[in-house]
Amino acid sequence: MEEGRFTVSRVTVKPKLFDWASERSGLPIDVLLSKFPKFESWVSEKTKPTLKQLEKFARTTYTPLGYFFLDEPPEEKLPIPDFRTLDDEPVRRPSPHLIETMHTMQHRQDWMRDNLVEQGAEPLPFIGSVSQKSPALKVAESIRSTLGIAKICADRETTPQNALLRLRNAAEGVGILTMLNGVVGNNTHRKLDAKEFQGFVLCDDIAPLIFVNNADYKAAQIFTLAHELAHLWLGKAGLFNLDKTLPLDHEVERFCNQVAAEVLVPEEDLRKFWPIAVEDREPHKAVARRFKVSQIVAARRALDLELIDKPSFFSFYDRREEEFEAAKSSKKGGGNFYNNQPGKISTLFGSAVVRAAREGRLLYRDAYRLTGLHGKTFDNFFGRQP
């Protein structure tokens, strides 16, 4: 087809692929139409996009370009068990943000495993060390003992942020790659949705990896991290969220929730503290302050121990959700870029990458790809690292 003096090459794409990509992206149709005025004519096959237009559409919808040359939309499957729920039903389709994040974490884990094996690392003894028949109390004690933490509820931690940092550092100290991020890589325009997933664990006896969705509030992230630690002790990978704090009706998730609850809010300690808590006008807030967890986790633990009933719990839950959404909408900024990186990348992983690059065992271009940091940004960040 002639446009001016030049022949413009146009690409044939099946309409169902455009529909699939736009739905998969989660972008509103008016947003797509504002960026691609001819989108509807592409779908109706009245016209075809140029290759340049198709490339832009692929980038905008977070879709690999090659997918548009298929006859049918691909069925994208997650590489680990999916334990997520929404309104009591399994979540059917993962977002492109989740898929890309998981692939990035798999790539990092693969490199780290090869690097550790090359250095003569031995398998970590706690991975897969328990079964679902193990008492949750004993598993929680094993986790605390291995991580060198007596009780997560220690009064010396003044905030949930500090408690989360302490637990994360303890996990990294025993060889667990622990990454916390609320966006895809460093792209602040691609925010992860805490309602879609709160975390996942990639199990491995050399380089186990936990990813926590940092878009969730801090006190909830502590529970996610504890939950994923329980997965590692079981030796089972999984993708995780809680719909109204209730896991999918699956024995693995129920077990991991019981262990996480016991790690963070030990039954014995809560029963001793409860008479004090109920004297407070907001007992769940008192428990949350004491144990450095979210108020919802505090209420859920009280429900599990039959200290409150279900109507009271769900009434409280709905109020807290409304408050959280209001607070989230008014939240500003994302903090200092360099200060955020250790949590995003994992101190353990980042140190191994920079060491390999400095020793010549890893090309810097590959180090950039692994960390998502490039050139001077990489140098400036890792120049702060030991």
Distances (CA, A) of 62 to 49, 95, 186, 274: 17, 10, 15, 49
- pLDDT tens digits, residue range 314-354? 888 888 777 766 665 555 555 554 455 557 889 999 999 99
Backbone angles phi, psi at 190, to 5 degrees: -115, 80
Query: What is the tens place of the pLDDT at every residue in 238-283?
Result: 887 765 555 556 788 889 989 999 999 999 999 999 999 999 999 9
Query: How many degrees, rounded to 5, is the angle at CA 184 between CA 182 and CA 190?
Result: 85
**pLDDT band at 51, cuts 50/70/90?**
very high
Strand-pair partners of 210: 178, 201
| pLDDT band with cut points at 50, 70 and 90 for residue 77 | confident
Write the DSSP string, 160-213.
Answer: HHHHHHHHHHHHHHTT-EEEEESEETTEEEEEPPTTT-SEEEE--SSS-EEEEE
Query: Residue 116 half-sphere exposure, CB side, CA atoms within 13 Å?
Result: 21
| Residue 202 pLDDT | 96
Domain boundaries, the chain: 2-69, 85-264, 338-382
Please give the model's pTM, rounded to 2 decimal places. 0.84
Q: What is the pLDDT of residues 175-226, one digit of tens each?
A: 999 999 999 988 888 999 888 889 999 999 999 999 999 988 887 888 899 9
Q: Is the pLDDT of residue 376 over 60?
A: yes
